[in-house]
Structure 1
Amino acid sequence: MTAKKSKSGRMTTTLDLSTCEKLDHLQPIPKSRSSSITSIESEDGMMSTVLKPPPRRDFDDLMAFEGFIRDETWDNDFDYCHAHLTYYPPFILKEVHNNLDKIKPTMNKNSRKFKRNLQHHIKKHLMHDMETCSGFKMDFNKVGMVETPTKVKWRFEDMGDHGFSKEEEDMYGRHWKLELEVTCNNENPLVEVDYKATPIM
């Protein structure tokens, strides 16, 4: 990752996707994960082991978000992370020439063009780049869309094997699911992305 000054004068970071390494083989679960396991008592008095939800990290820069996904793979925590991104999608920044003062009031979820461009960005760029940064296969399926007068939220999920054999996943106890939510609103072109990787116990 390198820092450079954008046309608007703001410092931004660039992530070289070509340097992201592929995760060829799984490894044992990190020992530090044991501190996230807790026991709870059910109504019938039985104790069960539960993994606390991963702590959420917030980002306002797409490259930092993608860098976090890459770093979680390097740290062997790719199956236990939660990242939230709030950002202006690249197609908006391109249209306004990185000058946020030029954002039009119609650039929001009420615009068919905006929603079409956002869906293209999600499928062709965001998901692709997340997969590259993670180093493993992501195969998101759309599981729902909720539209209200103020928001549109798309939900995606990946319950697959992420490119690893069942035997390898079983050997290390590394079964996990991915959840991705993308939300836009009716006031501005800011987009929220919520990404979770959680182990399947």
Structure 2
Amino acid sequence: MGGRRRRQQMEEEIYAEPVHFDHLESAPRVRNAKEKTFDSLDDFERYIKIEAGDNEFDQLDLHVRYLPPFIVRQTHGQEDKIKPQMNSLNKKFRRHLKHHLKRHLLPEISMMSGVDYDFKEASAGFSQNLYGTTSSYKWQFMDDGNHGFNESEYSRRKHWKVQVDVESDSNGPYINVDFKAAALDSE
């Protein structure tokens, strides 16, 4: 009985692995991807994987707001243990967040989408709100290259660019991630 359950669990894990695209297929005639907002990183990544499986990885507009994993580990998952200094004004917080972005979030997006994105940091820095009451630290990552495909692959599909905007404000440790993939107009 236990062996059968374990085998079924292994089959689900194998089925759940994202597919890596070696060749581009033509874009789908009907697009189902919409602008979506998520409350958890897992749901966000799962949606990217589903849309990539539907061949819609080049037209996504997704938003997610979540607690970074290093904050969840420090607070043991209890939000009442969040300290006031756990925000974008703290250099240690920003350093850990940047590590999370470069080592975990961006590679996970590439893995779930099945495309070899090569995200480059386009900009980073503080910005104030209109009244100067809060400040935010924003990162912007871009990939507008060939995403690991040969130029001949793009005869079947338009080029697209991907932009990931990450924002953390001075009010707490929650971060906002905007993931946008959009086709470039052919010139």
Shorter-chain TM-score tier: 0.7 to 0.9
- Deviation by residue 1:77-101 (Cα, 9 ceiling, x = unmatched): 1000111010000000000001111
Provide the C-alpha distance between the structure 1 equivalents of 2:14 and 2:147, rounded to a whole number of angstroms: 22
Structure 2 residue aligned with 1:186, among 166, 170, 175?
170
State the TM-score, normalized to the length of structure 2: 0.84
State the TM-score, normalized to the length of structure 1: 0.79
- Report deviation, 1:148: 2.2
Provide the C-alpha distance between the structure 1 equivalents of 2:50 and 2:61, rounded to a whole number of angstroms: 13
- Report deviation, 1:145: 1.8
Runs of 4+ off more than 6 Å: 15-18
Q: Answer 1 or 2: which has greater helix percent.
A: 2
Give the SS at the match of 2:109: helix
Report if the CA contact (8 A) 2:67-2:175 is conserved.
yes
Provide the C-alpha distance between the structure 1 equivalents of 2:56 and 2:179, rounded to a whole number of angstroms: 14
**Cα distance, 1:92–1:22 mapped onto 2, change above 3 Å:** same
Provide the C-alpha distance between the structure 1 equivalents of 2:121 and 2:89, rounded to a whole number of angstroms: 21
**Cα distance, 1:29–1:18 mapped onto 2, change above 3 Å:** closer
2:146 maps to: 161
Report how many residues are paired.
Answer: 167
Give the SS at the match of 2:117: coil
- Report deviation, 1:18: 7.6
Provide the C-alpha distance between the structure 2 equivalents of 1:16 and 1:145, rounded to a whole number of angstroms: 38
2:26 maps to: 28
Question: CA-atom RMSD, angstroms?
Answer: 1.9
Provide the C-alpha distance between the structure 1 equivalents of 2:51 and 2:180, rounded to a whole number of angstroms: 12
**Cα distance, 1:24–1:144 mapped onto 2, change above 3 Å:** same
Give the SS at the match of 1:126: helix
2:180 maps to: 196
Provide the C-alpha distance between the structure 2 equivalents of 1:124 and 1:176, rounded to a whole number of angstroms: 23
Matching of residues 33-112 of structure 1 within 5 Å: 33=31, 55-112=34-91
Give the SS at the match of 2:137: strand
Identity %: 37
Matched, 1:151 2:136: yes
Provide the C-alpha distance between the structure 2 equivalents of 1:86 and 1:158, rounded to a whole number of angstroms: 22
Give the SS at the match of 2:30: helix
Report if the CA contact (8 A) 2:48-2:112 is conserved.
yes
- Report deviation, 1:20: 1.3
Matched AA of 2:148: G
Q: Answer 1 or 2: which has greater strand percent.
A: 1
Gaps of 5+ in 1: 1-14, 37-53
